[in-house]
Amino acid sequence: MTSDQLLMNSKVYDKAYQFAIRIVRAYKHLYDEKKEFVLSKQLLRSGTSIGANIAEANGAISKVEFKAKMSIAYKECLETKYWLSLLKDTE
C-alpha cells in the first residue's frame, strides 16, 4: 500500500468525510428550516474544507507540503468549532 493509499484509507480521512456529510445536512437544515443564511454558509465552507485539505495532503509532493495541508485542515477544524459554538449560543 502506498503512502497515498494509507491516508485515503485512514481513520482521520474517514472521520473528516463523515463529518462533512453531517455538516452538509446541518447546513440544509439551517438553511431550509431555520432560514439561517449567513452563519450556516460559513459552517458549510469550513466544515467541508477539513476533509478537502486532508484529501489534498494525500497528493502532496513533499513532507513540507503534506504538513502544510494538514495544518490548514486543523485550522479549519478550529474555525468550524467557532461557527458551531456561535450558532449554538445565538440559538
Question: Could you list the pLDDT tens digit for every one of the 91 residues in the chain?
Answer: 455 555 566 899 999 999 999 999 999 999 999 999 999 999 999 999 999 999 999 889 999 999 999 999 999 999 999 999 999 999 8
Domain ranges of the chain: 3-89
Q: What homologous superfamily does CATH list for 3-89?
A: 23S rRNA-intervening sequence (1.20.1440.60)
> Within a 13 Å sphere around the CA of 24, how many CA atoms are in the beta-carbon half?
10
**What pLDDT is attached to residue 76?**
98
pTM: 0.86
CA distance 29 to 50: 20
3-state SS track over 3-66: HHHHHHCCHHHHHHHHHHHHHHHHHHHHHHCCCCCCHHHHHHHHHHHHHHHHHHHHCCCCHHHH
